[in-house]
């Protein structure tokens, strides 16, 4: 399985944003992020953020996280899981992701406030430089009937 540029995703489409808004989510939302990082960061879209010497995609992503955390915290959000990934156990052989994050916000409105903040947006070029491909899946807590065990 070989990915082409049209198979890669870095930014949300207008349609996906509209679909998310149409869900009318109330309460907490968790964004599951899965990322494939570039070997060498590509700052061509944000040369003003480029370091003097080339850095890895992981180093650029770490710069993005460092820049992002204060803006995320200011809107009540948190990164509650960040881990190194690898190839799938169930999925295409020889394929997977480099990094997984779970970001929690108190509400969709708080997430949108964070994602549209001018200060945050000034550093988002580190993410673009770092990431070769990504997926973000919005998750909403499931309601479990009272008295029934939660199966994991």
Over the stretch 32-65, which tens digit does the pLDDT of each residue have?
999 999 999 999 999 999 999 999 999 999 999 9
pLDDT of 16 reads 86
Asked, for residue 90, whether it belongs to a domain, the answer is yes
Asked, for residue 39, whether it belongs to a domain, the answer is yes
Looking at the predicted structure, is the pLDDT value of residue 4 above 60? no
Asked, for residue 58, whether it belongs to a domain, the answer is yes
Asked, for residue 145, whether it belongs to a domain, the answer is no
Asked, for residue 77, whether it belongs to a domain, the answer is yes
Asked, for residue 146, whether it belongs to a domain, the answer is no
Q: Which two tokens stand for residue 14?
A: 């207008």
- Report the chain's mean pLDDT, rounded to a whole number: 91
Range of the domain at 58: 27-139
Looking at the predicted structure, is the pLDDT value of residue 82 above 80? yes
Mean pLDDT of 15-29: 89
Asked, for residue 3, whether it belongs to a domain, the answer is no
- Tens of pLDDT, residue by residue over 63-81, are 999 999 999 999 999 999 9
Query: Higher confidence at residue 123 or residue 20?
Result: 123
The band of 152, judged by pLDDT with boundaries at 50, 70 and 90, is low
What predicted TM-score, i.e. pTM, was given to this entire model?
Answer: 0.86
* High-pLDDT (> 90) share of the chain, %: 74
Asked, for residue 5, whether it belongs to a domain, the answer is no
Looking at the predicted structure, is the pLDDT value of residue 5 above 60? no
Distance of alpha carbon 107 from alpha carbon 48, whole angstroms: 32
pLDDT of 50 reads 98
Quote the number of domains for the chain. Answer: 1
Which CATH number goes with the domain that contains 118?
3.30.70.100
Mean pLDDT of 120-146: 92
Looking at the predicted structure, is the pLDDT value of residue 145 above 80? no
Looking at the predicted structure, is the pLDDT value of residue 88 above 60? yes
């Amino acid at each position: 399985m070989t990915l082409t540029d049209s198979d890669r995703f870095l930014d949300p489409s207008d349609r996906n944003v509209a679909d998310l808004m149409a869900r009318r989510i109330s309460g907490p939302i968790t964004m599951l992020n899965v990322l494939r990082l570039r070997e060498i960061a590509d700052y061509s879209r944000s040369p003003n953020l480029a370091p003097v010497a080339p850095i890895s995609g992981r180093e650029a992503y770490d710069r993005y996280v460092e820049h992002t955390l204060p803006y995320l915290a200011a809107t009540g959000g948190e990164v509650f899981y960040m881990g190194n990934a690898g190839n799938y156990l169930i999925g295409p052989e020889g394929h997977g992701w480099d990094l997984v994050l779970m970001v929690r916000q108190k509400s969709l409105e708080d997430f949108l406030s964070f994602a549209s903040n001018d200060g945050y947006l000034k550093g988002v070029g580190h993410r673009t430089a770092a990431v070769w491909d990504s997926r973000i899946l919005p998750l909403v807590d499931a309601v479990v009937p009272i008295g029934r065990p939660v199966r994991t």
